[in-house]
Structures are given as C-alpha cells and as structure tokens.
Amino acid sequence: MESYTSGKTYEILIWILWLLIVLGGNVVFMNFIIAVVNESYSNCMSKLVAESYKIKADMIAERESIMTEE
C-alpha cells in the first residue's frame, strides 16, 4: 500500500502534463478546422468571381444583339 501513496508526488505533474496535452490538441484541431473553412471560402469566392464575369458577358451579348447598326 505504501507504493501507491508515494505516487502522490507526481500527481500534480501528471495533471499539468494532461492539461498541456489537451490544450495542445485543441489548438491543433482548431487550426485544422480554420484551414478547412478557409479553403472552402476561397473556393466559393473564386466561383463567385467567375459567375460575375459570366453574367457580365451575357449582359453585354444581350445588349449587342438588341442594338441596331444606327
């Protein structure tokens, strides 16, 4: 029984180590989530720009088809 009670000296060290591992894991996972969201946002913005140019080109083509030679 004495060998179990002598482990109390490392109890604080174990808790500090566990806390550091948990906080480090949270930072890594949050960084991963931010990277995924950033990539998704970049894809959406590139599609938005392409769609904007397509709409502008369609409007120009429609106006040119309506316009007369005069």
Query: Which pair of structure tokens corresponds to residue 16?
Result: 């500090």
Residue found under tokens 């590139």: 46
Q: For residue range 6-57, what is the model confidence (pLDDT) as tens digits?
A: 556 678 888 899 999 999 999 999 999 999 999 999 989 889 988 999 999 9
The model carries a pTM of 0.56
User: What's 1's DSSP letter?
Assistant: -
Distance CA 4, CA 10 (A): 11
pLDDT of residue 1: 45
